[in-house]
Structure 1
Amino acid sequence: MTHPCCFSVSKAFKFATAAGQQSISFRYKLKFPFKCSSRQIHMENNHSSDSRGALIVLEGLDRCGKTSQSSRLVSYLEGLGHAVESWRFPDRTTNVGQMISSYLANKSHLDDHTVHLLFSANRWEKRSLMESKLKSGTTLIIDRYSYSGVAFSSAKGLDMEWCKAPEVGLLAPDLVLYLEISPEKAAERGGYGEERYEQLEFQEKVSQSYKTLSESSWKIIDATLPIEDVEKQLRENVLDCLTVCQKGKPLSELWLS
C-alpha cells in the first residue's frame, strides 16, 4: 500500500542529494502534521487471521553483540523448521549502501543530513521485499533498523523528529531486542574503533537517544551476560513473538498517526 508520507527510494535518494546542498535551511522547513505511532496493514486477502513471519530487530551500541546473536538466532530458528532470513542495515550491496560503506570507513565525507537520508533510502530500497517476505511466512532477523538511524543522527545533534520523518511508513518491528551495554564495556571488545562512530563520547550520546526511542515493542537484554545467557533470553522472546505473528497479528507501519 502507498501512503502520502512514504518516500520511494528514488525520492529519498534525490532528497539526500538536495540535503547535501541545503541541509540547514531544510531542517527548519520540514513540518510534522502527525503524531508518531503505528498503523496496521491488512493482509492482501483482508483476513487478519492469516499466519505470517515476524519482523524482529536487534539494536544496541556498536560491539554489543548484535551480529553474532543474529546469526545464532537464525541457526536456532532454522533448526526448529522456521523459514527465516538474516538481514542487516545498512545493506552495503546496493548502490546507496556502497556510498554509506565508503562513508563509514572514513573514505568519504558527507553532510550529516545527507548521510541520514542515505541510510533511510537504504531501508526503503528493501521495504517492498520485506513486506512480501513476511506475508509469505518468512521471519526476518534484522541487525539494526530505523532506530539506529535516528539514534546515531540525533546523537550528532540533528533534531530527533526531523530524523524520524523519512522513516515514516517503513514496516514497524514486531519485536525490538535491545542489547544493553555501557560504551566502556563495548570498547573492551575486539575490533572497537575501526569505524567512524566507534568513539566513547559519541556512543554515550547514542545510548541516551536509544532510551528516548524505547517503545512497548522493546525488550531490554543485558548484553554483558555470558553469550549463552543472552542467547537464551533472545530465544524465549523471539518464540513468543513468532507465535503471535503466526496467529495473524497485522503488520504495522512505523511512526504513523
Structure 2
Amino acid sequence: MGKLIVVEGLDGSGKGTQSKLLVQSLKEKGLPVLEISFPDYKSDSSALVKMYLGGKFGTRPDDVNAYAASLFYAVDRFSSYKDWEEFYQAGGIVIADRYTTSNAVHQCSKLPEERWENYLDWLFDTEYIKMGIPSPDEVVYLDVDVSIGQQLLTGRYHGNEAQKDIHEKDLAYLQRSRKAAEYCVRRYGWKCISCLNGGMIRSIKEIHTELLMVLGY
C-alpha cells in the first residue's frame, strides 16, 4: 500500500495552498505523489454536497443533520477513490486537501459534545471499514482563528460575501467546528500547525517548512 496524508483545516486556513506546495516538494524529492481534493466538484458524485452547501436543503448547516450530511461527502470520497486506488495500492503517496476528517470537524459541531465520540466511531467505521476507503497515515490540521479565516475568505471572493457557502457564512458554526477540531487533534493524535504568530498570519513559506518537518520530509 501507499501512503495517505491529509491536510485539514477550517475555511481560509490555506489547506489548498499547502497541499500543492507539499506535492511539489515531494515531486522534487523524486517521490511518486498525487494530489486530491474534496469535495470533488468536477465529479457528479459531489452533486448532493453542492446542493447542501448551496442551501438547497436549508440555509443553515444545522438544517441537515450530521449523519445525513456526512453521507453526502462519503459517497463523493468513495467515487474519488476509484480514480486513485491503483496508484495508492502500487505504493504512491496521496496528498488530500480535506478528507473524512473534514466530516469529523464540521459535522461534530452539529452535535452536543457528549455525542461526539459515538458519531466519530460511526463516521470512521462507515468510511474506512464498511465503504472500504483508506484511512489516513497522517493528518495535519492547520489551525487559524475563525476571524482571520473570514478575512482571508473575503479576500478570496474579492469582497463578495454572497459567494460564501452556508458553512463559510455561519461564524458560530465555524467556532464550534474549531472546537471539534481541537478535540480530534487530542483524541486521534493529529499533528497541529498554528497558522498565526502573535495574532498575525504566518508566511506561506514558514508554514510549508513546518509542514515538511512534522511529516518527516
Q: TM-score range by the shorter chain?
A: 0.7 to 0.9
Counterpart for residue 180 of structure 1: 143
Of 74, 80, 83, the residue aligned with 1:120 is 74
Task: Say which of 100, 119, 132 aligns to 1:162.
Answer: 119
1:226 is aligned to 2:193: no
Return the letter of the residue paired with 1:167. Answer: E
Identity rate, percent: 25
Q: Which amino acid aligns with 1:206?
A: S
Q: Where do 1:108-147 residues align within 5 Å?
A: 108-109=57-58, 111-112=64-65, 113-147=67-101
**1:121 Cα deviation after fit:** 1.7
* Residue 211 of structure 1: how far off its partner (Å): 1.7
Amino acid at match of 1:137: G
For the structure 1 residues 54 and 239, does the alpha-carbon distance in structure 2 shift closer, same or farther, using more than 3 Å as the test?
farther
Equivalent residues in 2 for 1:238-249 (5 A)? 238-240=215-217
Q: Is the 8 A contact 1:131 1:171 kept in 2?
A: no
| CA distance in 1 between partners of 2:14 and 2:83 (Å) | 26
* Aligned ranges 1:76-87 → 2 under 5 Å: 76-87=25-36
User: 173, 198, 204: which is aligned to 2:175?
Assistant: 204
TM-score, length-normalised on structure 1?
0.66
Q: What is the CA distance between 1:71 and its match in structure 2? A: 1.0
Offset of residue 66 of structure 1: 0.2
Moved more, 61-70 or 101-110: 101-110
1:61 pairs with 2:33? no
Aligned: 1:235 with 2:212: yes
Which residue of structure 2 lines up, in the alignment, with residue 19 of structure 1?
Answer: none
Q: Which runs of 5+ in 1 are unaligned?
A: 1-51, 241-257
Q: CA deviation at 1:141?
A: 0.7
Q: Secondary structure at the match of 2:178?
A: helix
- Greater helix share, structure number: 2
Q: TM-score under structure 2 normalisation?
A: 0.77
Of residues 165, 171, 185, the one that matches 1:195 is: 165
Shift of 1:237: 2.8
For these two proteins, the number of residue pairs brought into alignment is 189
Identify the match of residue 42 of structure 2 among 90, 93, 102.
93
CA contact (8 A) 1:175 1:217 kept: no
Letter in 2 for 1:59: E
d(CA) in 2 for partners of 1:205 and 1:62? 13
Post-superposition Cα deviations, 1:82-128, rounded to whole Å, max 9, x if no partner, equal 11111011112333302212321335547334222111222222345
**Secondary structure, counterpart of 1:197 in structure 2:** helix
Q: Looking at CA atoms only, which structure, 1 or 2, has the larger radius of gyration?
A: 1
Post-superposition offset of 1:184: 1.4
Helix, strand or coil: the match of 1:184? helix
> Does 2:184 match 1:213?
yes
The Cα RMSD (Å) is 2.3
Tell me, in whole angstroms, the C-alpha distance in 2 between the residues paired with 1:127 and 1:217: 24
